[in-house]
Structures are given as C-alpha cells and as structure tokens.
Amino acid sequence: MRRIGKKQLLWLSGGLIAVALGLKWTIGDSAAPVAEILLILSSILAGWEIAVQGIRLLFMRMITIDLLVTLAFVGAMMIGEYVESAAVTFLFLLGHYLESRTMERTRASIQSLLSLTPDTAVVSRNGEETVFPVNEVVKGDVVVIRPGMRIPVDGLVRTGHAYINQAAITGESEPVHKIEGDLVYSGTLVDSGYLLVHAERVGEDTTFSRIIALVEEAQDRKAKTQKFLDVFAKYYTPLIIVMTAAMYIFTRDLEMALTLLVIACPGALVISAPVSMVAGIGNGAAHGVLIKGGDIVEKLSRINVLALDKTGTLTEGKPKVTSIRTEGAHSEDELLGLIAAAETYSEHPLGRAIIQEAVHRGLQPLRVPEHTNIKVGMGVQAYFEGDRQITVGNRALLSAAGVPLKSCMETAAAQLEREGQTVIFAAENGELLGYLAVADQPREDARDLVLGVAKRGVARTVMLTGDREGPACRIAELVGVTNVKHSLLPEDKVQALRSFQGDRSMIGMVGDGVNDAPALAAADVGITLGGAGSDAAMETADVVLMSDELGKLAYAITLAKTTVVNMKQNIVFSVLVAGLLVAGVLGKMVFLTSGMLIHELSVLLVILNALRVVRLKPKPKVVEH
Ligand code: ADP
Ligand code: MG
C-alpha cells in the first residue's frame, strides 16, 4: 500500500463505510457479513497509517493521540464493533486532513511572503542582458529591473528611477520613489519605472530572506502558556491510558473505556496556543511588524511602561541645521564641511543629517577620515591625514577630550538649548572651532502613538535621551510624553529602565539598534523602527517595525493583545469541551463515534477561531490637520 494520498485514503475508507451501511439498511441482516468485511477493510485502511505513526512515536518515547486512537480502534474491532472502529479511524483522518488544510491558512501570511521572491533575474554583464536563475546572481552584478517585476536582490540604484511598492518588507502600501543611490530590497515590486541595480546582497543574505528566517524562528519560539501546555500534554496522555485501564478493570465496560481513551486526548488543547501564535506572528510579518516569538507576543500584550528614545524615534531624526557659529578661523561652510567629513562613518541620525546638509549646500566632495572613534551617546572623533583630530559632539565629549568652552560661547549655546535646539560642538586638536545648532521635528505620528498606547494599557510613557534638558523637554511637550530623563549615556538608559521595574511592570523600550542596544536588551520588550534599513535594528530587538512608521507600534500592541485573547479563548474552549466529553462518557451519553466527531469538531473550531487573528488589519494611516 505505497503512498496513496491522504485524500484518496479518505475517499476510500469513507466510501467503504457508506457502501457497508447502505447494504445493511437496504438488504438488511443477510448482507451483514459483507458489510462487516467492508467495515473491517475500511478500519484497517485508515487505521494502518495511524497505527504506524503512533507506534513509531512510541519508540521515540512519545505517547500521542495516534497511539490512543490505535488502541481504540483495535479494541473496537476486538469486541466486534466494526462500525465504531471504521468510524473512529475515518473521522480521525478526516479531522487531520481538515486540520492541515485550515492550518495552512493560518500560516498563509508567511506562505504569501515566500511566493514573493522571483526565480529569475535579468543581469547585464558586458553590456548583454541575460536571464539567470536568481541563485546564480552574485554580489556586484548589475540587475535590470522593469515595471511589474519583483526585485531579486538587495542593491543600490545605479541608474534610473522608479516607484516601488515595498509592502513585502515594510507593510506600507504607498509606493516609494527611488532614485540613483537609493537602496532597493529583494521581494519588492516595481510599480513604474526602470532601474539598473547594483547587487549588494543576494540569496539568503537579503533583508527579505532574513525576515522569512526570523519569522519562521519566531513561530517556533514558544509562549510561556504554550510551554506549560506542552509539559501538561506530556503527562496527561499517559495518565489517560492508566485511567482508562483502571476504569476497565472496575467497570468491565470496554467500550466506555475505549471511548474515554479517544475523547480525552488533548487534541484541541495542544494546538490551541500555537495556532493563535502562528496566526498572530504571521499577520504581523505581513504588515511589516516582526515579533520574534510567542513569548514576545505575550509580553507585548502586557506592556504598561513604554520608554522611548528621542532622536530618531520620537523625532524624525532628520534635524535641520538652524545656525552655525565659528571661532574665526573657518567660514560657516568650511566648519559644516569639516563636521560632515568627521561624521562620515557615523550611523547616528544627527551625523547623517549633517552630511545631508553639507551635500545640500554643495560642499562635496567631502574628505574621508582615516579612521573614526565613535563615542556612543556623545559624538565622534575623526582622524585625518597629517595628524588632524576633529572632535564633534556634545559638552561631555568635549570635556572628556579636554577642550574648554569659552564663556560667551557657553552662554549662547545654553540659550539655544533652552529654546529646544541641540548644540553640537567641534574642535580640532583640542582647539574649539565652533558649534552647529540643529532642531529636530517630532514625527508626525508620535503624538498619536503616545495617546494610542495609553488607550492600550500603557500607564506610563517616558522619554530617555542623551540630549540636554532643553531639546528633550521641547519634544516631550510636543508629543505628550510626561516623564523625561535627559543627558543619559547609553548605560544610564539601562539604569533608568531599572528604576521603572516593579512587580507588575512590563517595560517596552523603543530605540535605535545602534546606540540603544543595551537599553533594548534590558527592557522586557525591545522595539526598533526602520528595521528594513538597518541590520543592527533587525538583530537586536524583540519587535521590529520594518517601516519607519512609529504608528505601527499601536497596531503591534493591538495584534499582540488580540492574539493572546484568541489563545485564551482556545484554551478555555478546549478544556471545556474535553471536560464535557468526559462527563458525557461517564454518563453514557457520548459514545465512540460521537465522541470522536465532537473531538475533531472542537479541533477545527479552535483553528477557525485563530483564523480571525489572520484577518486583523492595521488601521489605515490618518493624516490629521
Ligand atoms: P538620543 O538618546 O536622544 O537618541 P544619543 O544618545 O544618540 O541621543 O546622543 C546623545 C547626544 O550625544 C546627542 O544629543 C548629541 O549631542 C551627541 N551625539 C551623539 N552622537 C553624535 C554624533 N554622531 N555627532 C554629534 N553629536 C552626537
Ligand atoms: Mg537615538
């Protein structure tokens, strides 16, 4: 009996049962022997696989439902209840079949993601366009991308421009305009335009492949409740066997004992938690929110303190340079150019903004430092040819470098800070060169988020920032965060988080993966933004918002809460059904076939309930005026 498909097996055993029952009803008792043979055939056909599976797992020291069903159908055959034995195996297989069909739909989000990677790529080598299987494209190839195509690699746009739908990565459905020098991602779709892309990452290294790998890992990482249920099931199933054996010894009612055996197995209970989690995590992934495991879903649903980094998290992280003051030796543009050059290797949003300003003012090409020391949470020190050391950063960095501030400059800087601007000082070989003031705007959706999380059970929001009091308070006021902790070094942020830790606290921390990594790790749930653009952001956090929309966090919390509620509904429901069934068996109201039917139905209902989580959608972005 080599590999008949599941479906054929179902039809076959179901058909045999139907014919057998049909014969019995139409012809009556004289057909009974034929009917019995058909039923025995059906039982063996369907039961064979179940028995093989059950015994195989028994050898691996696992007592599973397959084994229980095997015992039940063999038992039923021994006492001559062929209808029962055929029905039990048939229903069990049917349940399994429907279960895997529906289960696939809860995994649908990740399945639909997988289908987004193209199989081939058009590569231009030596001026000739050739179609290659995507796994033969190498780093450095120039890939040709036309409208309607899925991009096969991560890369930089070399020529052309296009509107790209990045929903596969970020969950945003608005197309993004990409021009020369922009990064494009594998798996995203070109709406219109034509691009030549320089492949930077191919195959398994692409952001998209890593998202899929992370989601798959996440779906296997179990929630606390889930772990508990697993342990429970491990002891529960053998216990049932012992109980039914005891029951048979006392009552001598084999049929009742067998029924108990079948219906008491925790089928629905075992899948109740994972099925909701898989649905929740998959839904998140489809909308640009990576939640790295069932345990994180549970924690995220219970967040009541939310700490937020300022620069780049609550603010856009694209500060405008508002004023430049030099100490005579340089012009304003020269100072800006020098600071921008020093920031070349900085990943800090302030550094990037300064470089942009310099480029914007036409100060290219910038010199490139020989090497840079990044002083996390303070600034940078860059070394240029001929022993030039340029220090760029806040007061703390300057005083650490032994650069004194002149008192009139100090007064002017302090005034700017009171107005809410961030002042960045620059020095060359210990000599102060001047400063540059920048003002950052809060993100459009920051205020909504702060209000939104309050509605979702977050009692307290706190800003943690390395910046000074003035700018910190200005932004806090604008976005509605009431607690502010300023002038913190990255390790101070960890201390600040500890101060909020209490018995019932569940602390979420939103920050960037670069200099907030310690705080992200110290919080119960570390959350980063813009994961698509930063490896560090994707690796360090528990929850990654792939797009740069802070507002997605509200959806993420709602999703986590919905998922956990869904899981609890499933658990309560399956325990109730199991309890009622046991009572029914003991009260002689539930028998083998009906028990099996109800059991399988309850499994299906649990999966159908989880499908509701698959359908949850983030609220569309509302632009308020
Ligand atoms: P936040 O916590 O608000 O994100 P950071 O801890 O990243 O702030 O930085 C704290 C302060 O250190 C900044 O306000 C700025 O003054 C200074 N700083 C950090 N990195 C840089 C940099 N690359 N260039 C200039 N100044 C910097
Ligand atoms: Mg920051």
d(CA 103, CA 145): 36
154 close to ligand 1 (CB < 6 Angstrom): no
Residue bearing tokens 């100060």? 363
Q: Which helix (H) or strand (E) holds 154?
A: strand 154-165
Q: Read off the tokens for 261.
A: 């055996």
Burial class (CB in 10 A: 0-12, 13-18, 19+), 33: exposed
> DSSP character for 150?
B
Which of the listed ranges 51-65, 257-271, 448-462, 594-608 does the model predict with the highest average pLDDT?
Answer: 448-462
Q: How far is the CA of 350 from the centre of ligand 1 (A)?
A: 7
Q: Is 309 a catalytic residue?
A: yes
Q: Which amino acid is at 172?
A: E
Whose atoms come closest to the Cα of 439: which ligand? 1
**Mean pLDDT, range 256-273, rounded to an integer:** 80
Of 65, 63, 55, 54, which Cα lies nearest the Cα of 264? Answer: 65
Q: Are 589 and 81 in contact (CB under 8 A)?
A: no
pLDDT in tens, 146-178: 988 889 999 999 999 999 988 878 877 788 899
> Helix (H, G, I), strand (E, B), or coil: what is residue 593?
helix
Q: How far is the CA of 537 from the centre of ligand 2 (A)?
A: 12
**Mean pLDDT, range 360-381, rounded to an integer:** 87
The Cβ-side half-sphere exposure at 123, using a 13 Å CA radius, reads 22
Q: How far is the CA of 315 from the centre of ligand 1 (A)?
A: 13
Q: How far is the CA of 592 from the centre of ligand 2 (A)?
A: 63
**Mean pLDDT, range 373-401, rounded to an integer:** 91
pLDDT band with cut points at 50, 70 and 90 for residue 391 = very high
pLDDT for 304: 95
pLDDT for 327: 85
Residue 468 alpha carbon, nearest atom of ligand 1: 14
- 467, 489, 534: residue to mutate for ligand 1 pocket, most atoms within 8 A of CB: 467
The Cβ-side half-sphere exposure at 82, using a 13 Å CA radius, reads 18
Q: Among 24-28, 116-120, 249-253, 550-554, whose mean pLDDT is lowest? A: 116-120
Q: How far is the CA of 355 from the centre of ligand 2 (A)?
A: 17
Q: How many CB atoms lie within 10 A of CB 274?
A: 22
Question: What mean pLDDT is reported for the chain?
Answer: 88
> Helix (H, G, I), strand (E, B), or coil: what is residue 354?
helix
pLDDT for 296: 95
Between the alpha carbon of residue 231 and those of residues 237, 272, 369, 385, 588, the distances in Å are 11, 14, 57, 64, 30
pLDDT at 2 over 70: no
Q: How many CB atoms lie within 10 A of CB 36?
A: 17
422 close to ligand 1 (CB < 6 Angstrom): yes
Among 66, 309, 445, 467, the active-site one is 309
Nearest residue by C-alpha to atom 16 in ligand 1: 394
Q: How many CB atoms lie within 10 A of CB 126?
A: 5
CB-based neighbours (< 5 A) of ligand 2, an ion: 309, 311-312, 512
Residue bearing tokens 């809860």? 106
Which of the listed ranges 296-305, 438-447, 483-492 does the model predict with the highest average pLDDT?
Answer: 296-305
Phi and psi, residue 422, nearest 5°: -100, 130
Preceding amide of 365 cis, omega within 30: yes
pLDDT for 108: 66
pLDDT at 1 over 60: no
Which of the listed ranges 41-45, 74-78, 79-83 does the model predict with the highest average pLDDT?
Answer: 41-45
**Mean pLDDT, range 322-329, rounded to an integer:** 87
Q: Read off the tokens for 319.
A: 């500060």
Q: Are 500 and 479 in contact (CB under 8 A)?
A: no
pLDDT band with cut points at 50, 70 and 90 for residue 298 = very high
pLDDT in tens, 84-99: 889 888 988 888 888 7
351 close to ligand 1 (CB < 6 Angstrom): yes
Between the alpha carbon of residue 540 and those of residues 254, 292, 431, 532, the distances in Å are 57, 11, 38, 13
pLDDT at 515 over 50: yes
Residue 423 alpha carbon, nearest atom of ligand 1: 16
pLDDT for 20: 92
Q: Read off the tokens for 225.
A: 């409740």
Q: Which helix (H) or strand (E) holds 23?
A: helix 6-27
466 close to ligand 1 (CB < 6 Angstrom): yes
Length of the chain in terms of residues written? 625
pLDDT for 624: 43
pLDDT for 596: 82
pLDDT in tens, 190-214: 988 999 999 999 988 888 888 888 8
d(CA 424, CA 434): 9
**Mean pLDDT, range 307-314, rounded to an integer:** 92
Q: What percentage of the chain exceeds 70 in pLDDT?
A: 96
Q: Which amino acid is at 398?
A: L
Nearest residue by C-alpha to atom 24 in ligand 1: 379
pTM of the predicted model as reported, rounded to 2 decimal places: 0.83
- 374, 394, 440: residue to mutate for ligand 1 pocket, most atoms within 8 A of CB: 394
pLDDT band with cut points at 50, 70 and 90 for residue 376 = confident
d(CA 572, CA 294): 18
Q: Read off the tokens for 163.
A: 């509107």
Query: For strand 305-309 and strand 507-511, is the pairing parallel, antiparallel, or unpaired?
Result: parallel
pLDDT at 566 over 80: yes
Residue 489 alpha carbon, nearest atom of ligand 1: 6
d(CA 59, CA 525): 40
Residue bearing tokens 């057998």? 20
Nearest residue by C-alpha to atom 17 in ligand 1: 378
pLDDT band with cut points at 50, 70 and 90 for residue 538 = confident
pLDDT in tens, 9-23: 899 999 999 999 899
Between the alpha carbon of residue 229 and those of residues 235, 582, 604, 605, 610, the distances in Å are 10, 19, 19, 19, 17
Q: Are 214 and 290 in contact (CB under 8 A)?
A: yes
d(CA 244, CA 262): 10
pLDDT for 623: 47
What is the edge-to-edge ordering of all strands in the sheet holding 483-485?
289-291, 543-545, 525-529, 507-511, 305-309, 460-464, 483-485
